[in-house]
Amino acid sequence: MTSKFVRFLLAPVFVLAVSALAQTASANPALPPAPSATSTTSEPVATGTGNKLGTINITEAIYASNEGQRDFEALSKKLEPKQTELKGLNDEVESLKKQLNTQGDKLNEDSRATLVKQIEQKQKSLERSVQDARDDAQNQQNEIAQRILQKMAPVIVKFAGDRGFGVIIDTSNPWPQGPVLWANASVDITKAIVDAYNVQSGVPAPAKPAAAKPAGTGAKSAAPATTKPQTGTQAPK
């Protein structure tokens, strides 16, 4: 077995059930905004009759927001122990398989059968653990995304109403899985929505690693350079 059983934690794929809510919020400028968890007053509701068409990658908007970067990074760290556990189980299965390949012809029939059975049992256990971990990770990812989207939807509605948009289409899924075959970049409002949402949420941008300084031509280095850990995340693609 290869590392494919733990790769989903090394490079998470976030599966978001957001299209329906995003399309509802953007296509209906009279939709009341979802209440903010910390707000006690209603947000402005978009009104008017716009006729412009825009696009937004709602998945990218959620990930690229300061809140999304912060919360998904926190989730990634939370999942690290499970990733380590699954990698250990995978390594154990691989070690037993290697033992079977190198020593199988030297084992008697009973010993070989016992080893084969042990490998099968551990591999099935690993696969169940991976599936359980994948489901749990996906559920937690979706919870984060839905929470952010509930607060981002009224931002999209207000932005559309203020700027005369009649339709905002989600381009998270590329054609043919999604509805948009092609759209000019000039109609994409993803970055504008991210910027507006960052202002509303008040969540600061993740810290960036210090930029490496160019080596001097004459001065001697007083101490060896060290690399600071990166505390921020890049916008998911």
Residue spans of the domains in the chain: they are 3-201
Q: Which residue has the tokens 């978001």?
A: 16
Read off the pLDDT of residues 69-116 as tens digits, 9 standing for 90 and up. Answer: 999 999 999 999 999 999 999 999 999 999 999 987 888 989 889 999
Residue scoring higher pLDDT (173 or 222): 173
Bond prior to 176 in cis (omega within 30° of 0):
yes
How far apart CA 165 and CA 27 sit, in angstroms, is 9
Q: Quote the pLDDT of residue 85.
A: 96
Q: 196-208, pLDDT tens digit by residue?
A: 999 999 999 998 7
User: How many Cα atoms occupy the beta-carbon half-sphere of 149 within 13 Å?
Assistant: 23
**178 token code pair:** 């999604």
Q: Which residue has the higher pLDDT, 172 or 15?
A: 172
Provide the residue count of the chain.
237
Is residue 237 predicted with pLDDT exceeding 50? no
Predicted pLDDT of residue 211: 61
> Which token pair is 226?
């060290």
pLDDT tens digits, 131-188: 999 999 999 999 999 999 999 999 999 999 999 999 999 999 999 998 899 999 999 9
